[in-house]
Amino acid sequence: MLKITDLHVSINGTEILKGLTLEIKAGEVHAIMGPNGAGKSTLASVLAGKEDYEVTSGTITFEDQDLLEMSIEERAREGVFLAFQYPVEIPGVSNVNFLKTAINEIREHKGLPALSAKDFLTLVKEKSALVALDASLASRAVNEGFSGGEKKRNEIFQMAMLEPKLAVLDETDSGLDIDALRIVAGGVNALKSKENATLVITHYQRLLDYIIPDFVHVLYDGKIVKTGGKELALELEEKGYDWIKTAE
Partner 1 sequence: MSGTLIDFCKQLEPTQLKLPSALLQTATDGVEFQHHFPTTRDEAWKYTRLGRVASLHVSALKFNQTAQPLPSSDYIDVIFEQERWHCSEPTEGLHISFAGALDSTDWNACSLDGHVQHINALTAQGGVSIRVDAHVSLSKPIRIIHRIQGENKALILHHQLVLGSNSNTQLEVFFEGDSEGTYANVLFDFFIGPGADLHTDMLQQTKGTHYGFHTQRIYQQKDSTFALQTLSANTHFTRNEIEVFSQEEGTHTQLYGAFIGRETNHIDNHTYVHHMAPNCTSDENYKGVLSDKATGVFNGKVKVYQDAQKINAYQSNKNILLSDQATINAKPELEIYADDVKCSHGSTTGQLDQQALFFLRARGISEAKATDMLIKGFMAEIVGAVKSSHIQEALHTLLD
Listed in sequence order, the residues at least 6 apart from 217 whose beta carbon sits closer than 8 Å to its beta carbon are 22, 30, 31, 32, 33, 224, 226, 227
Closest CB 1 distance from partner 1, rounded Å:
18
How open is the CA angle 105-75-143, to the nearest 5 degrees? 65
Burial of residue 184 (number of CB atoms within 10 Å: 0-12, 13-18, 19+): buried
- Residue 139 in the binding site for partner 1 (CB under 8 A): no
Beta strands per DSSP E along 111-196 = 141-142, 166-170
Looking at the Cβ atoms of 30 and 77, the one nearer to partner 1 is: 77
Residue from 56, 65, 71, 139 in contact with partner 1 (CB under 8 A): 71
Q: Does residue 129 interact with partner 1 by CB under 8 A?
A: no
Under rule CB under 8 A, residue 73 binds partner 1: yes
Footprint of partner 1 on 76-105 (CB under 8 A): 76-77, 81-82, 84, 87-88, 90-93, 97-99, 101-103, 105
* Smallest separation (angstroms) from partner 1 to the CB of 23: 23
Q: Cα separation of 18 and 9, whole Å? A: 7
Chain positions 17 to 56 lying near partner 1, rule: CB under 8 A, are: 48-51
User: From the CB of 51, what's the least distance to partner 1, in Å?
Assistant: 8
What would the DSSP string read from start to end of 31-65? EEE--TTSSHHHHHHHHHT-TT-EEEEEEEEETTE
Residues that bind partner 1 (CB under 8 A): 48-51, 71-73, 75-77, 81-82, 84, 87-88, 90-93, 97-99, 101-103, 105-106, 109, 141, 158, 162
